Structure formats: C-alpha cells, structure tokens
Amino acid sequence: MAPAAAAPPDAFLSYAGSATAIGTDRFIYGEEHFMRFQNGRIAERVVLYKCRNGAPFARKHLRYVDVLAPDFELLDMTGGLHEGVRSHAGGREIFYRESINDKETSGPLPRVPGLVGDAGFDEFVRANWAPLMAGEKRPLNFVIPSRLDVMTFQVRHIQPDTVAGLPVEMFRLRLSGFLGLLLPSIDVYYSSNDHLLTRYDGLSNLHDPSGSIYKAHIIFPPTSRKPSDSEAMRKALEARLARCQ
C-alpha cells in the first residue's frame, strides 16, 4: 500500500514526531517510528514514545498480519496501560488493561468488513486516496481496545493545506451516526505527492499521569524521514521503558 517512493522492495525506514497539547505549545511527548518493508509492503513497525529528555516511556510494536488491521501491542509505563490485538492458534483477539493495578481483559476480534486497526489507518488512507479525493466518504470499522470491540467511523477529505511549507491534504475521521455529533473528530494531514502522514490532531492513545487521554497535536517533519536498519529496530524493541521524571 505504501508509495514506491517511500518504500523500496526491502528496506528499513524511520521518522520522528513531536506532540504538544492541542491549543498550546506544551510538549507532551516525542515519537520515533522504525519501519520494516518486505517486497514493497510494510511488514513491521516499532514506535518509541519519549519523555522531554529523550528517554522512552512507552512502546508500540506492530506486525502487519493484515495490512489494514495489524497485530499490535502498546505498553505505556506512565500508568501501566497495555492494549492491542494479537494472533494465536484459535484466531485473533483484542486485549486491554488500563493500569498496572487492573486485570487484563480480552475478547475475540470481530470479523467485520472494513476492519482497520491502529497504524493500519495510514494504509487505509493510501488505499482509498482516489475516492476520498473525489469527495466520497469512506466507512471503516476501527478497533477500540478499551471497548474490546470496533466502532464505525467515516473518513472524508476536508481541504488542501500546508504543513511546514509542504502541500498536504486534510482528512477527518468521525464516528458515524449520532455519536459523531457528540464526540470530537480526528484530523489527519497527508502529503499531497507521496501520501505520508505529516500532522495529527486529536485524541492520543496515551494517557497522562492522571489517567486522562492526551489531546495531541503531532507534527511529523518530512526531514525526519531517513533510511534505517535492523539494528535500530532491535534496539527500539529492547529499549528499557520507565516513567518520565
């Protein structure tokens, strides 16, 4: 699904982002992404979430058993959040633990059409670029670990824009039906030429020390994208996580 310019047949790539609280300049965390491509398709991703001093406090590991709905595991040491989707001999399941003091709960991953999970949304946007740009609204069933279920969203193109001087296209992700009128939407910006994520505005998947979900404004500078290697991904997978001081 990834554009050829972004993903050689077999390669490792990395990029970084910085999150601030929406409406402020207050830094909340940094992100560093490491991606492995195989035969021109994304196969694996590791994301390190970092404190102001650069120390990692959370990690997400994705395996693209399904390009739109990958297996993933997120562990956040701030409060002990642990969630994701995993495969086993009996199928696939969603799991969730809100804090270190809670018991993990799990349930079967629903078998529904249009299933999208976590960073599989990037691949969804690229796969649906033409109809979205033509003004179509595209439905998807997005995995919500905290509910052990999926929720139906609609995605639509809003307008062209610029991020750091780069031409981008803005898309909006909103819950379908009545809930869409009550709950905040998520806005994402993808570069017009190679369809890469450059900005994200909305609810994060991380919690602050009080347990509230961050509302984040995240910029991913195109200049942060660079070749990487298996050793960098290995180090990201093995990095020690600790709460920010």
Query: What are the pLDDT digits (tens) for 120-166?
Result: 999 999 999 999 999 999 999 999 999 999 999 999 999 999 998 99
Asked if the structure places residue 2 within a domain, the reply is no
CA 95 vs CA 63, 69, 229: distances in Å: 16, 14, 30
Q: Six-digit token pair at 244?
A: 């920010």
Asked if the structure places residue 138 within a domain, the reply is yes
Which range marks the domain in which residue 210 is found? Answer: 11-238
Weakly modelled stretches of the chain, pLDDT under 70: 1-9, 177-183
The whole-number pLDDT of residue 179 equals 52
Q: Global pTM?
A: 0.93
Asked if the structure places residue 224 within a domain, the reply is yes
40 burial type by CB count under 10 A (0-12 exposed, 13-18 middle, 19+ buried): middle
The whole-number pLDDT of residue 164 equals 87
Distance CA 31, CA 123 (A): 19
Number of domains in the chain: 1
Taking every pair of Cα atoms in the chain, the longest distance, rounded to a whole number of angstroms, is 49
- CATH number of 132's domain: 2.50.20
